[in-house]
Amino acid sequence: MLALGKLLELTLAGREPTEKIQLTREGARLHWLAQGALEVTPPASEDCGLDLLLSAGIHGNETAPIELLDRLLQGIASGQLIPRARILFLFGNPEAIRRGERYVEQDINRLFSGRHEQASGFEALRANELERLAAAFFIREGRERLHYDLHTAIRASKIEQFALYPYAEGREHSAAQLARLNAAGVEAVLLQQKVGITFSSYTYAHLGAEAFTLELGKARPFGQNQAVNLDLLEKRLREIIEHCEPATTTLDGLQLFSVAREVIKHSDAFRLHLPADIENFSELPAGYLLAEDIAGTRWVVEEQGARIIFPNPKVKNGLRAGILIVPAQL
C-alpha cells in the first residue's frame, strides 16, 4: 500500500511523508497538502464531477469517524476502492487527536466563518487552515460539492445517528440530499435556521457545498468503537466514491426537526436543570424550567413536542449550552 494511505499513522506520529505525491496502480493521485490533509484525484477520464470533502477529528476524542476515514483512504491507496470523485480527507485537529482530547485550548468547531480571527492559539490557526484547504478544494466551477463532517457525541442519544443541516440565506434544504443521508443510516436531521460557526456551516454558507455535520454515536477511544455501527454509512460512502451515485428520493422513516431556541450561557451563574446523563433528543414537557442565569434570566419550555440536544453547562460564557428542537417538515 502507498505510504500516503497511512495518513492517520502520519498524523498520530506528527510526521510529514517524504513523498508528497503518489499514484495508485489505477492512476488515482494522492497529494499530501498539510498535516492531516490529503487530496485524492481520479484520472481525468474517470472523474464523475463530484468534489467530496470528508472530515473527522474536529474533536480529537471522536475516534470512530477517524477510523472510518482511515479505512476508506487505505482502500483507495491499496487499489481496493477505485475513486471517481475528487476527495479531500481532513483530520481536523491533529494535536487533540494525538492527545485523545476534545480540544487543546478551545472548541475548534466554534471558530469558523471568521470566528478564528477573533481568537488566538492553536485551534484558531487550525480553523483558518481548514477554511483555506476547503476553499482551495472547492474552487472548481461546475462541479457538485458535498461535505460530510463526521462526529460522535459527548453523551448518549435516543436517536443514535443524526445530522445537522446548515442554513444559508437564499438556499433551500435539499430533499435529494436528505434522502442520500436516509440511505446511509441517518435517522434524523436537524434543519438549522441561521448561519452557524461550525465547519459544515462554513462550507455550506461560504463555499456553496451541500454540507452536513453527522453525529454517529457516542465518543470512545481508538479501538473501542465496536458499539458504533457505521456499516451502512461506510457502504454509502464507498458507493459515492466509486460510482458518484445520484441521491435517492425516499425520505421514508427520516425524522426532521428544526431549532426552536438556543440556550446561551451568559455567566458563571448559569444553571442547567437537567440530569447530567440526559440523552440527546430527550423530550421535555411544556412548562419545564430548563435553565437559569444571571439577572433572573430563565428558559422555560413553551413548545409542544420539544426535545433537547447538546446540553452542556460547561461551555464558555457566550456559547450555546443546549438546543431546544421541535418536529419539522421540509
Residues of the chain with CATH 2.40.50.630: 259-327
Cα–Cα distance for residue pair 162/155, rounded to 1 Å: 13
pLDDT at position 330 is 83
Q: Catalytic amino acids? A: 215
Cα–Cα distance for residue pair 62/123, rounded to 1 Å: 16
pLDDT at position 247 is 65
Q: Is 147 annotated as a binding residue?
A: no
The yes/no answer on whether domain 3-243 falls in CATH 3.30.930.10 is no
Match 440530499 to its residue by C-alpha cell. 177
Q: From edge to edge, which strands make up the β-sheet containing 271-272?
A: 271-272, 289-292, 298-300
DSSP code per residue over 178-191: HHHHHHTT--EEEE
Residues of the chain with CATH 3.40.630.10: 3-243
Q: Is 151 annotated as a binding residue?
A: yes
Q: Is 116 annotated as a binding residue?
A: no
DSSP code per residue over 129-154: HHHHHHHHHTT-TTSEEEEEEEEEES
Cα–Cα distance for residue pair 15/294, rounded to 1 Å: 47
Write the DSSP symbol of residue 309: E
Per-residue pLDDT of the chain (330 residues; tens, 9 = 90+): 788 999 999 999 999 999 999 999 999 999 999 999 999 999 999 999 999 999 999 999 999 999 999 999 999 999 999 999 999 999 999 999 999 999 999 999 999 998 899 888 999 999 999 999 999 999 999 999 999 999 998 888 999 999 999 999 999 999 999 999 999 999 999 999 999 999 999 999 999 999 999 999 888 877 877 878 899 999 999 999 999 887 677 899 999 999 999 999 999 999 999 999 999 999 999 999 999 998 789 999 999 999 999 999 999 898 889 999 999 988
pLDDT at position 280 is 94
Cα–Cα distance for residue pair 243/83, rounded to 1 Å: 8
Cα–Cα distance for residue pair 73/80, rounded to 1 Å: 10
pLDDT at position 296 is 83
Report pTM: 0.94
Helix/strand/coil for 169? coil
In CATH, what is the architecture of 259-327?
Beta Barrel (2.40)
Check residue 280 and give left, alpha or beta (phi > 0: left; psi -120 to 50: alpha): beta
